[in-house]
Amino acid sequence: MKISFKKPKYIQMSSAAKIINKTEPNVPTGSWIKCTYCGQVIYKEDFNNNLFICHNCEKHYRMSAPDRLKLVVDKDSFDNMFTNLKTVNILDFKGYDAKIKGLQEKTALDEGVLTGTATINGIKVAIAVMDSRFLMGSMGHVVGEKITLITELATDESLPLVIFTASGGARMQEGIISLMQMAKTSAALKRHHDAGGLYVTVLTDPTSGGVTASFAMLGDIILSEPGAFIGFAGPRVIRDTIKQELPEGFQKAEFLLEHGFIDSIVPRVEMKHTLHKIFGLHHFI
Amino acid sequence: MKAWDRVIKARRTDRPTAYKYIESLCPDFIELHGDRQFKDDAAIIGGIGTIGGISVTIIGQEKGSKTKEKVKRNFGMSNPEGYRKSLRLMKQAEKFNRPIITIVDTTGAFCGIEAEERGQGEAIARNLFEMSNLKVPIISLIIGEGGSGGALALAVSDEVWMFENAIYSILSPEGFASILYKDGSLAPQAAEEMKITAHELKNLQIIESIIEEPFDGAHDSFDIIIGPLKYQLIDKLTELSNMDTSELLENRYNRYRKF
């Protein structure tokens, strides 16, 4: 498993998609890292083996899409689909093409989401897993198209659909085209819904902006990882708007659970089992 | 005209607001309130009326005209209850086979603590989801600012018409500039780059039609605009109402599918 640790940094994004959060553990030197949440120094290998969770405080760090898939689906069952889409620089935004190319090389991903079919304890599913390493998992045309295609496939083949969200929101560099992805994905999900399809969303850290305001919050069942940031507007924008400090735990998964917007918080180690149980209850075998 | 000039016009405080269009298009308008769950959001004015004898549900994002009213309307920025009120009224329209007209004019969905507590993201998502195959014709008019998801939540429609000085964008030019150029004062440049004007969006097929604004803009020419606009709406609503529902919905799906 290849993991890259970045130095923690503040990420600033649009009013529709802003979060400020320390995301990755600190990497002082070599094989030791420091949890940014509780300060515990952890041996890197232990951290990796513990599913990227701090063993001291249970903080769930972000996972790449390939790592997430390994954790959730049966070994070698993932059929990676819709990989031939090209990211188009619709606004002719300077530096965007180079940025995409660089990210593709760095992450070995074609774009911010992996989509395809897989099995989870033998049950065939349509699955999408977003990756926040790719321009913060932001949704532009290709991400929207892949989500739509996998949803349409789930509808056509009567497969349950699972989407792991991880996104700063809509991709600014593609302008209004990114906004349209919100409508496009939601419309595909409505057809899946009307056909009686089961859609389970798993909200991971972070899920924000135009992704929260579209497919992320449309699951029949919405699960989340502990401590995940889930919101529409970013905390800084809210603070600037209302000129007040934000409540403790605001926009965390636990906050959403309390306010009635998610069904359950599921620790990472239990996710595969929980999904399998849900599919079984819906008579998928 | 430069994009930034359009932005300035779109944001003019004397620009006619949604209510002016609602009462002119549907003089017999009955306002209906509330989301039946929590509150009545004053940023949205919605209800029923007739236009050219056609019963419609008409819903607008209202910025308010005078200062006191603007505050009451939260400057046209909805909380979740506003989107839920809209959805309630739209589902009601579907029940009674009434076409829907929405009037979009907002800087965006309100970014407040309570808005998050009450599921602002979910409210917008739910509108996109449900509007995508509501079994009645929907026409949206962007009369001022189409502020991102907060606008889209009322604009998943069969046709979107934009006033020539209106803007429609993923985020404000100021936001775009401050994040991508690291300098919010470069908003005019961002406005050019982002493609947020009616003409640019027509080229991108985001909208079907541009409503011309004679003289200096709608604030100057409302009385010239309203008559033809009313007849265009009557024509289009009639055309869409005569369409087979499955064809209407297939077209609406493809309208967004193509992006």
| B200-247: pLDDT as tens digits | 999 999 999 999 999 999 999 999 999 999 999 999 999 999 999 999
Report yes or no: B201 at the A interface, CB cutoff 8 Å.
Answer: yes
The structure tokens listed for B46 are 């919605």
In a domain, B9, yes or no: no
- Closest by Cα among B161, B156, B139, B132 to B249: B132
- Phi, psi (deg, nearest 5) at residue B246: -65, -35
**What sign has the CA pseudo-torsion A61, A66, A67, A73?**
positive
Please tell me the predicted confidence (pLDDT) of residue B162.
98
- In eight-state DSSP terms, residue A6 is P
- Point out the residue among B113, B168, B175 whose CB comes nearest to the CB of A246: B113
Please answer yes or no on whether A186 and B132 come within 8 Å at the CB atom: yes
- In eight-state DSSP terms, residue A229 is B
Q: Which residues of A touch B74 (CB under 8 A)?
A: none
Q: What is the pTM of this model?
A: 0.94
Report yes or no: B204 at the A interface, CB cutoff 8 Å.
Answer: yes
Range of the domain at B111: 17-169+196-252
In a domain, A19, yes or no: no
Tell me the CATH number at B76.
3.90.226.10
Count of the separate structural domains present in chain A? 1
- Point out the residue among B130, B149, B168 whose CB comes nearest to the CB of A213: B149
In a domain, B65, yes or no: yes
The answer to whether A91 and A174 have CB atoms below 8 angstroms apart is yes
Please tell me the predicted confidence (pLDDT) of residue A27.
52
What beta strand segments (E) does B107-169 contain? 138-147, 159-163, 167-169
Alpha-carbon distance of A266 to A128, in angstroms, equals 18
Most B CBs within 10 A among A194, A217, A221, hence the mutation to make, goes to: A217
In a domain, A190, yes or no: yes
Q: Is the pLDDT of residue A198 over 90?
A: yes
In a domain, A206, yes or no: yes
In a domain, B115, yes or no: yes
In a domain, B207, yes or no: yes
- Residue B28 CB coordination number (10 Å): 10
* Edge-to-edge order in the sheet of strand A199-207: A79-81, A113-120, A123-130, A161-167, A199-207, A221-224, A264-265
Minimum CA–CA partner of A245 in chain B? B113
Tell me the CATH number at A239.
3.90.226.10
Report yes or no: B24 at the A interface, CB cutoff 8 Å.
Answer: no
Query: What does the pLDDT look like over A220-242, one tens digit per residue?
Result: 999 999 999 999 999 999 999 89
Q: What is the ipTM of this complex?
A: 0.98
What proportion of chain A, given as a percentage, has pLDDT over 90? 83
Please tell me the predicted confidence (pLDDT) of residue A37.
87
What beta strand segments (E) does chain A contain? 26-29, 32-34, 41-43, 79-81, 113-120, 123-130, 161-167, 199-207, 221-224, 264-265
- Closest by Cα among A87, A85, A91 to B171: A91
The answer to whether B245 and B135 have CB atoms below 8 angstroms apart is yes
Query: What does the pLDDT look like over A159-192, one tens digit per residue?
Result: 999 999 999 999 999 999 999 999 999 999 999 9
Query: What does the pLDDT look like over A266-281, one tens digit per residue?
Result: 999 999 999 999 999 9
Please tell me the predicted confidence (pLDDT) of residue A13.
32
In a domain, A24, yes or no: no
Count of the separate structural domains present in chain B? 1
In a domain, A265, yes or no: yes
Report yes or no: B202 at the A interface, CB cutoff 8 Å.
Answer: no
* Residues facing A130 on adjacent strands: A113
The answer to whether A186 and A229 have CB atoms below 8 angstroms apart is no
Q: Is the pLDDT of residue B126 over 80?
A: yes
Cβ contacts below 8 Å, chain A against chain B, sum to 169
- Closest by Cα among B234, B228, B232, B227 to B55: B234
Mean pLDDT of chain B: 97
Please tell me the predicted confidence (pLDDT) of residue A31.
85
In a domain, A239, yes or no: yes
In a domain, A43, yes or no: no
Please tell me the predicted confidence (pLDDT) of residue A284.
87
Sequence length of chain B is 259
The structure tokens listed for B187 are 């908003």
Q: Is the pLDDT of residue B57 over 90?
A: yes
Cis amide prior to A206 (ω within 30 degrees): yes
Q: Are strands A221-224 and A264-265 parallel, antiparallel or unpaired?
A: parallel
Q: Is the pLDDT of residue A18 over 60?
A: no
**Helices A271-281, A65-72: inter-axial angle, 10-degree rounding:** 60
What proportion of chain B, given as a percentage, has pLDDT over 90? 100
- Point out the residue among B111, B130, B196 whose CB comes nearest to the CB of A237: B111
Please tell me the predicted confidence (pLDDT) of residue A285.
77
In a domain, A28, yes or no: no
Please tell me the predicted confidence (pLDDT) of residue B122.
98
**Of B222 and A5, which is predicted with more confidence?**
B222
Q: Is the pLDDT of residue A104 over 90?
A: yes
In a domain, B177, yes or no: no
- Point out the residue among B156, B170, B204 whose CB comes nearest to the CB of A172: B170
Range of the domain at A188: 62-281
CA A24 to chain centre: 15
